[in-house]
A = this chain, B = another copy of it.
């Protein structure tokens, strides 16, 4: 019996106790956005720290301007303390978060959100609670995998750093600075991020594509003051008419974004990737019908998953100007504003898109008007190399547990920590999560299937065994890109 097999057998037997620990974690209302819960947020971090300490980690809560970041080190199988010198296998950094979204509206919950309840449903028992999956349930998958290895072999098979933050649900305001100032503390070979979904309950997934974001706010300023449309209409420029005329040109009739240079750096996905996505049986009709639509919008002639995962977009996210109260007011306003954002894909350069947005608007400046354009943060699209030894280990571990190949999927939004770890720590991530699309994260009756929890625990345990067999300096970036 291999080292891993005995761990997996133990984890199966110990699962009820694992669930009990998981429920204990869920009972802590660690709502990061509400200052009234700051003590509970800290308690969640302390609970995790004590769990990790019990498994041989040295755990520290690092103060930030907001909630603490828990960093814990496991010295490696040969006893080398974290960061002191290289052990034989690679050094893994696990990321998760211990904070949760607020639970309101409370009246829509079938059970109190912080009194986790086990409910029988189509996939067997599930746990209903705030944070059931996002991200407490996901954090428990690797924590219990560690516990299994520790219990059976008295040690973990590789050197591990765990970083679990408490501000993810408020946009991780303290994390970028924390990464920048703690590079030494967070040294590793590759990151494992556990905050994403499986393809479905039977099929594991690794997320390999994330879209980036450039977010802009534009204001068109025209007349020096608001005007009466009767006294000036027909002679004075109306910023509302002018702004809508310009915004209406953001996409052409075929859904192509008209920002200069927008597609210049977009990399078409490979035939293999496209074929793999097409084989997933994504039900576009069902996807659209759930939001009241029948017809796909956007770029024609492309598969739905391609549009969602590997094509850039430009959406207007907000607009305002003039009179917006009840009834009629005949004003020509002095200015009009909109917010818009582009989802980016690798290898689009956010700076180049920022410049493109500016020149799109500047080239369409109406007479006597001027633009005020602001940008709110920007992140590149990310495409994780699929041919590294770490990816192979993760895929093999998942296949061992599920009996099926993992789907290499994309998600249309960003997970900012992935970009930040790349930028500030030089770390590539493997996005390995066990949620399901219908888990109702951020909504009432959030849930996590116990089958997903168990498969997550077993998968992490199996993957650890395979990671331990890699060399300490295995490349985390694509072999193709390096040639």
Q: CB within 8 Å of B: which residues of A?
A: 211, 213, 215, 222-225, 227-238, 240-241, 243-251, 284, 287-288, 291-299, 304, 307-308, 311, 313-324, 327-333, 336-339, 341, 343, 366-368, 376-377, 411-414
Contact = CB atoms under 8 A, between A and B. Distances in A.
Given A227-B291, A229-B343, A230-B343, A307 B247 contact: no
In the complex this chain forms, how many copies of it are found?
2
A342 B167 CA distance: 50
Given A232-B291, A329-B317, A248 B251 contact: no
Contacts of A336: 319
A471 to B, nearest CB: 36
A18 B224 CA distance: 40
B229 A341 contact: yes
Contacts of A341: 229, 328, 330
B227 A313 contact: no
Contact of A232 (B249, B317, B321, B412): B412
A82 B251 CA distance: 67
A469 to B, nearest CB: 36
Nearest to A213: B330
A438 to B, nearest CB: 13
A317 B32 CA distance: 41
B317 A234 contact: no
Nearest to A284: B235
B367 A295 contact: yes
A314 B240 CA distance: 11
Given A339-B328, A367-B297, A368-B292, A316 B237 contact: no
B313 A225 contact: no
Contact of A321 (B213, B234, B318): B318
A315 B248 contact: no
